[in-house]
Homo-oligomer: A and B are copies of this chain.
Amino acid sequence: MPRIASPSSARTRERVLPEHARLHNLVLVLRSLFHGGAMSRADLARATGLTRVTTSGLIAELIGEGIVVEKGTRASAGPGKPAVLVDLDRVGLQVVALDLSGADEYHGALMDLRGAVIARRRVRRESEESSSQAQAAVVGLARDLVQAADSRLLGVGVGSPGVISEDGVVLEAPNIGWEGVPLRQLLQDELGVPVVVGNDANAAAQAEYTLGETEPDLLLIRVGRGVGAGLLIRGMLVTGTHHAAGEIGHVPVGEDAPDAPSCACGNIGCLEAWISVPRLTAALHREGADREAILRGAGARLGTVLAPVVSMLNLSDVVVAASPTLFGDIFLDAAGENLRSHTLGRSHAEVRMRVPAESEEIVLRGALVMVLSSELGIS
């Protein structure tokens, strides 16, 4: 069962052989099926531009690999031979998804390609966990879910906080206490299935893009213990020169304000110090706190930091994935207002700020998408 080309390998600066063309076209068929749903070979041919003959050949290969299945004939809607529907095996293929970004637990699920959860596990994080203890906990969680699979397992996807290299090495994740942990290799050796590891905010952005209906340029902000962001440009993840794209928690904002908070990093007025969940919660519990004013203020700080980014990238879609109790309409409206007032100029920029659907599961869904992308080329 050869791994289908990832889209990045198609955009590469390397020579193209006939077999590469076929891989590209296979991915094209898979994408069409994933986003278009069950359809006939003839439908697929029209969707991809390939001929019926070629499409049939590709589908035959995919059926042979167990990725695509026939779904019976379509209730005929006109003249002609009735079509046989084919589709991705959305329930027969399974993926293990891990979300390591929780404040006090590791969360994982066994899912099918629809994102339906077949099994779920949570592992509490110990308060003073060592790096290797954390690794053992994550490996155990993954193994448990891999063993729960009762059908073909495509792979394991992991969304982790921190800075993560392209080959799945966690370069630094202070929240977990990791530094230079080759998590992907480690899990793959332990489990014997393909593993892909990525930053949690990046995973969430990919989930929103692939599973939702969004612009190809998409910014997703995640607020938890820290503040992180995932950014897609033309559907492609922006990783940055040192894999640290999206690390905006320590940009100072309003650092001259009288109430500017000091940050754990030593600076004053870091975005994280204004709006992270612990800091915001603490501010709200202070004596005589004006809840709405505090939330509005926090939202405004986020808007101010995002304004240059949104202007520079000409974004129109900003998603805030965070606990809705804190980051609800008050916060979001303030952020949006401030963002718009700071980006107006003569631009047509109509920035939309919104909350993602099912934000609770968004990192798990992102981990699923990462596997779909690396194993099947779907994005």
Contact = CB atoms under 8 A, between A and B. Distances in A.
Contacts of A249: 345
Interface stretch (A9-17, A63-71, A117-125, A183-191): A9-17
A15 B305 contact: no
Interface string A320-348: 00000000000000000000001111111
Number of identical monomers bound together in the oligomeric complex = 2
A250 interface: yes
A143 interface: no
Interface stretch (A105-113, A310-318, A361-369): A310-318
A24, A265, A349 — which one has the most chain B CB atoms within 10 A of its CB? Answer: A24
B345 A265 contact: yes
Question: Which of A229, A231, A311, A312: most chain B CB closer than 10 A?
Answer: A312
B307 A251 contact: yes
Most chain B CB neighbours (cut-off 10 Å) among A231, A241, A316: A241
A307 B21 CA distance: 42
Q: How large is the interface on A (under 10, 10 to 19, 20 to 34, 35 or more residues)?
A: 35 or more
A275 B306 CA distance: 21
Contacts of A243: 314
Contacts of A156: none
A240 B270 CA distance: 27
A16 B21 contact: yes
Given A247-B347, A248-B311, A309-B309, A241 B215 contact: yes
A50 interface: yes
Contacts of A24: 15-16
A48 B12 CA distance: 12
Interface string A234-260: 101011111111111111100010000
B17 A229 contact: no
Given A13-B28, A16-B25, A48-B15, A241 B267 contact: no
A24 to B, nearest CB: 4
A288 interface: no
Nearest to A21: B16
A269 B48 CA distance: 50
A236 to B, nearest CB: 8
A43 interface: no
B233 A342 contact: no
Interface string A1-30: 000000000110111111011001100100
A342 B251 contact: yes
Nearest to A229: B312
B25 A314 contact: no
Given A14-B49, A248-B308, A252-B307, 7 more contacts: A16-B21, A17-B21, A240-B314, A242-B314, A242-B348, A250-B311, A308-B308
| Nearest 10 interchain pairs by C-beta | A240-B314, A250-B345, A245-B314, A16-B21, A241-B316, A244-B314, A16-B24, A15-B49, A308-B308, A248-B311
Interface of A: 10-11, 13-18, 20-21, 24-25, 28, 31, 48-50, 172, 174, 215, 217, 229, 231, 233-234, 236, 238-252, 256, 265, 267, 270, 305-309, 311-317, 342-349
12 contacts: A13-B31, A20-B21, A240-B314, A241-B314, A241-B316, A241-B317, A245-B314, A251-B308, A251-B342, A256-B256, A305-B308, A309-B312
